[in-house]
Structure 1
Amino acid sequence: MTDGMVVSVNVGAMRPNPAKKVGRTGIYKEPVDHPVDVRAPGPRRTGLHSGIVGDEIGDIEHHGGDDQAVYAYSREDYKWWEAELGRTLPDGMFGENLTTTGLDLTATLIGEVWRIGDTLELSPTFGRIPCATFQAKMGEPKWLKRFARANRTGTYLRVVTPGQVRTGDPVTVIHRPSRGITVTEAFAIYMFDPASLPRLLEAEGISEHLRAEVEDRVTRL
């Protein structure tokens, strides 16, 4: 049974970045009307950066790599923000590669697996931590805090099985971990509830990088 659908595939070319010393950014993503290849990009700093072929990432120190190969955001969460902000938010506005509908991304489990189209399989890894570039693009007061507190972060995904994605592709959740944690709960703990960090270590699907960071933070509590 189909759980959702891709309503837009968005790809970004480099533009000047006034918010960071990096000097350029790929956050300005535009919908494309053709199939796009998706593959694991490899390590963040030395790999191919984005999992979406043709998509570009400027700040490779903080974005991209296998654990952030693809970024998804839902139309449902966009509608919530449109009501909050009183403005229209088109697909790709938040810099996501995939705009979805039908999937409740606030209930998405880290480590579950999405089948998209015929062969592509992606797995959620964590929510999006807002940065200065995002703040500059949105132009909203205290945007970083508002976005984080709302905890409608969308989700980063790693590539389980490479393939193609196009607008209109169905999305089916084909696996859910038995000891899972939602992206929403994990983000809230990571950002605002350090006493609950051990909960992240008990969950399936947490990336090695996140696990190592959380273990280090736990030892310093």
Structure 2
Amino acid sequence: MPYVLSVNIGRPRPNPWKRLPATGIDKQPVSGRVAVTAPGPKGTGAVGLAGDRAYDVKHHGGDDQAVYAYAREDLDHWEGELGRTFAPGSFGENLTTCGLDLNAVLIGERWRIGTVLLEVSAPRIPCATFAGWLDEKGWMRTFTRAARPGPYLRVVEPGELAAGDDLVVEHRPQDRRVTVAECFRALTTEPELLPLLADLPALPAEDREAVRQRLARTGTPTAAEGPGGPS
């Protein structure tokens, strides 16, 4: 059974990489049960876990990025690749998980953890803060090439969760099956996959609109329209 190895909350620290007053990427494991709620629209810095927040309010936080999860197995992969040790929370994740390939989960998939119901919304896209925090030459290129981004999740039902809770997959979409890794590759290195995303219901609305605009510029039909265009 997949489970949550660690629940991690950010400690504010200076952010010289984006010239912002602070960043919450320095996540540290906490004990006990943590309240999780839907934070509301992006722009305030609010996130899902009590005691945490985002400081780059333009690009982070809000309902569609309420929680970020990364797998212990992926941290282990990077330990082998980079010859470094990565503790839970090292990649800025709120939930460090075990036993589930988080890059193979589906956009729109729903997880029950403790009393919280979460929905996979989008892959994490690397930014300058992440690159500066890891301090690895060419890190954004390396991370992108590997396509191991881990998912953001929105809060469907608020509640509480803790380290040690089971991660129960309660729902997987049957009609539009796009994995986190496929979504990430479409948004970064493989634009030929973009038609899969244009009408993907669980993808954040701002991402769907950005995808549709990119496709419109190239005259590429969406997945729903098919090769012949709208029906």
TM-score where L is the length of structure 2: 0.91
What amino acid maps onto 1:151 in structure 2? A
Higher relative contact order (CA 8 A, sep 6+): 1
Match of 1:32 among 26, 30, 33: 30
The question of 1:8 aligning with 2:6 is answered yes
Number of residue-to-residue matches in the alignment: 217
Helix, strand or coil at the partner of 1:141: coil
What amino acid maps onto 2:8 in structure 1? N
User: In structure 2, what is the Cα distance between the partners aligned to 1:23 and 1:107?
Assistant: 35
User: In structure 2, what is the Cα distance between the partners aligned to 1:207 and 1:17?
Assistant: 26
CA contact (8 A) 2:119 2:156 kept: yes
The question of 1:45 aligning with 2:40 is answered no
CA contact (8 A) 2:108 2:120 kept: yes
User: In structure 2, what is the Cα distance between the partners aligned to 1:7 and 1:89?
Assistant: 14
* 1:135-150 correspondence to structure 2 within 5 Å: 135-150=131-146
What amino acid maps onto 1:123 in structure 2? E
**Which structure is larger by alpha-carbon Rg, 1 or 2?**
2
User: In structure 2, what is the Cα distance between the partners aligned to 1:34 and 1:107?
Assistant: 29
| Alpha-carbon distance, 1:173 to partner | 0.3
| Alpha-carbon distance, 1:202 to partner | 4.7
* 1:71-220 correspondence to structure 2 within 5 Å: 71-117=68-114, 119-178=115-174, 179-220=176-217
Helix, strand or coil at the partner of 2:107: coil
Helix, strand or coil at the partner of 1:105: coil
CA contact (8 A) 1:152 1:184 kept: yes
For structure 1, list consecutive stretches of 5 or more residues without a partner in the other structure.
none
User: In structure 1, what is the Cα distance between the partners aligned to 2:93 and 2:61?
Assistant: 12
CA contact (8 A) 1:13 1:56 kept: no
Residue identity over aligned pairs, in percent, reads: 52
CA contact (8 A) 1:107 1:184 kept: yes
User: In structure 2, what is the Cα distance between the partners aligned to 1:82 and 1:60?
Assistant: 30
| Alpha-carbon distance, 1:23 to partner | 2.2
What amino acid maps onto 2:212 in structure 1? E
CA contact (8 A) 1:181 1:204 kept: no
Deviations 1:10-42 (A, max 9, x none): 001211111112221000011001111000001
Deviations 1:36-69 (A, max 9, x none): 10000011104x6211110021101111111100
Deviations 1:129-180 (A, max 9, x none): 1111111111101001111111111110000110111010000000000122
Please report the RMSD computed on the Cα atoms of aligned residues, expressed in angstroms: 1.2
What amino acid maps onto 2:40 in structure 1? G
User: In structure 2, what is the Cα distance between the partners aligned to 1:83 and 1:40?
Assistant: 36
What amino acid maps onto 1:216 in structure 2? Q
| Alpha-carbon distance, 1:204 to partner | 4.3
CA contact (8 A) 2:182 2:193 kept: no
